[in-house]
Amino acid sequence: MTQRVKCAECDNMILPQTAADNDGLCAQCVKISPELRAENREYERQLAEGLVFTPSPAERANSKLPPELANGQWQLQPEYYAERNFESAMDAIIAAKTESGGNVFLVTDDGGQLNLGFTDRYGVCEYQNQDTGDFRYAYTKSNLREQAPEELHVVQACPCCGVGMLWYPSRYHMPRDRAFSLLENAVSGCESPGVEWLETDDFSYTEHGRG
C-alpha cells in the first residue's frame, strides 16, 4: 500500500505524486488562492490562541453609535413580517421573547436595519445600513469571551426570509435578556448604557460551535 502524506494546508492525506504535482497540496486546497489560504492560516492561529473571542484594540477604538439607534423610528421589516400579524415592532419583540430561538428584524426609513438573532441563552444584536456601508454589532461587558456552545450558537439569518446564512462569532453573543433589552430601548427611543457598537468583520470562517 502506498504511504500517504499530509497536505501542507489541511488534514487530508494524499498520495506522494499528488503532493509533488501540487506543491504539497491536496486537490481541494490547490484550487484555493494563496491569499485565501493565508487568511485561513491566520484565522486558525487566532482561534488556537483564543484571540477571536475578544475584540481587538482596533475594534474597540472604532466604536460608534449608529444615528438611528439614537433617534430612529424602528418599524417591522416588511418582507419578513408580511404574513405575521404584528401591529408594531414592540409587538414582535414581545412575541419573540416567548420563543426559545429565532429572530427579530427591524428597519428605519433611513436604511437602517437592526437584527436580533437569539437562542435559549444568548442573543446577537447586529446593525446594518447598506446605504452608508456601516455594519456593526453590540458589545458589552457581558458578551461571551469563550466558545459559544454548539447548541446555543446564534446563526445570522436573512432579514427578508429568516433563512440561516452564517454563524456569528462567539464574542458577538450576549445574554439573551440583555439583547432583547437593546431592541426594546431602540424602539422606545431610550439609551442602552454600557454598549459599544463595533464594526463587524469577515466571520465567514466561523463554523457551528467553532469560532
Domain ranges of the chain: 5-48, 58-199
CA distance 123 to 204: 19
pLDDT, position 8: 84
Any idea what the Cα angle at residue 172 is, between residues 167 and 178, rounded to 5°?
120
Beta strands 164-167; 102-107: pairing state: unpaired
Q: Identify the band that residue 182 occupies on the pLDDT scale cut at 50, 70 and 90.
A: very high
CB 116 within 8 A of CB 103: yes
Contacts of 211 (CB under 8 A, 6+ apart): 43, 47, 52, 147, 167, 169, 170, 203, 205
Residue 193: the pLDDT is 95
pLDDT band at 1 (very low <50, low <70, confident <90, very high): low
Tell me the pLDDT tens digit for each residue of 42-89. Answer: 999 999 999 999 999 988 999 999 999 988 899 999 999 999 999 999
With cut-offs at 50, 70 and 90, classify the pLDDT of residue 2: confident
pLDDT tens profile 119-177:
999 999 999 999 999 999 999 999 999 999 999 999 999 999 999 999 999 999 999 99
The model carries a pTM of 0.89
